[in-house]
Amino acid sequence: MKLRNIAIIAHVDHGKTTLVDELLKQSGSYRENQRVAERVMDSNDLEKERGITILAKATSVVWKDTRINIVDTPGHADFGGEVERILNMVDGAIVLVDAAEGPMPQTKFVVGKALKVGLRPIVAINKVDRSDARAQEVVNEVFDLFAALDATDEQLDFPILYGSGRNGWMAESPEGPQDLGMAPLFDLVLKHVPAPDIEEDSRFRMIGTILEANPFLGRIITGRITSGSIKPNQTIKVLAQDGSVVEQGRVSKVLAFRGIERQPVDLAEAGDIVAIAGLSKGTVAETFCDPSVEEPLHAQPIDPPTVTMSFIVNDSPLAGTEGDKVTSRVIRDRLLKEAEGNVALKVEESADKDSFFVSGRGELQLAVLVETMRREGFEVALSRPRVVFKKDEATDETLEPIEEVLIDVDEEFSGVVVQKMSERKAEMVEMRPSGGNRQRLVFYAPTRGLIGYQAELLTDTRGTAIMNRLFHSYAPHKGEIAGRRNGVLISNDAGEAVAYALWNLEDRGPMMIEPGWKVYQGMIVGEHNRENDLEVNVLKGKKLTNIRAAGKDEAVRLTPPIRMTLEKGMAWIQDDELLEVTPKSIRLRKAVLDPNGRKRAERAREAAA
Q: Which residues lie closer than 8 Å to 292 by C-beta, 6 or more apart?
A: 203
Beta carbons of 156 and 143 less than 8 angstroms apart: yes
SS3 (DSSP) at 477? coil
Was 69 annotated as part of a binding site? Answer: no
Q: Taking phi first (over 0 means left), then psi (-120 to 50 degrees means alpha), and beta for anything else, what does residue 575 get?
A: alpha
Q: Pseudo-torsion of CA 330, 336, 341, 344, nearest 10°?
A: 130
What's the rounded Cα separation, in Å, for the pair 373 and 371? Answer: 5
Tell me how crowded residue 290 is: count the other CB atoms within 10 A of its CB. Answer: 17
Question: How many angstroms from the chain centroid is the CA of residue 245?
Answer: 32
Distance, in Å, from the CA atom of 158 to the CA atom of 149, rounded to the nearest integer, reads 14
**Single-letter amino acid code for the residue at 156:** L
Confirm or deny that 327 is annotated as ligand binding: no
Q: How many residues does the chain have?
A: 609
Those residues with Cβ within 8 angstroms of residue 491's Cβ, 6 or more apart along the chain or in another chain? 519, 520, 521, 522, 523, 524, 525, 535, 536, 537, 538, 539
- CA dist 438 and 535 (Å) reads 45
360 is in an annotated binding site: no
Q: What DSSP string runs through 262-302?
A: EEE-S-EETT-EEEEE--SS--TTSEEE-TT--SPPP-PPP
**List of residues 6+ apart from 104 with CB closer than 8 A:** 11, 14, 98, 406, 468
Give 421-464 as a 3 state SS string: HHHCCCEEEEEEECCCCEEEEEEEEEHHHHCCHHHHHHHHCCCC
Residue 368: which residues within 8 A CB-CB, separation 6 or more? 46, 54, 78
The reply to whether 129 sits in an annotated binding site is yes
The CB-side HSE value for 536 (13 A sphere, CA atoms) comes to 27
Q: Is 272 labelled a binding residue?
A: no
> What is the Cα–Cα distance from 254 to 58, expressed in whole angstroms?
15
Beta-bridge partner residues of 276: 221, 254
Answer yes or no: is 14 a known binding residue. Answer: yes
Handedness of CA 580, 445, 463, 369 (dihedral sign): negative
Beta strand 92-98 pairing with 2-10: parallel
**128 labelled ligand-binding:** yes
CB-based contact 492:521 (threshold 8 Å): yes
18 in a labelled binding site? yes
Is 536 labeled as ligand-binding?
Answer: no
User: What is the spatial distance between Cα 415 and Cα 422, in angstroms, rounded to a whole number?
Assistant: 11
Residue positions in the annotated binding site for GTP? Answer: 13-18, 126-129
Residue positions in the annotated binding site? Answer: 13-18, 126-129
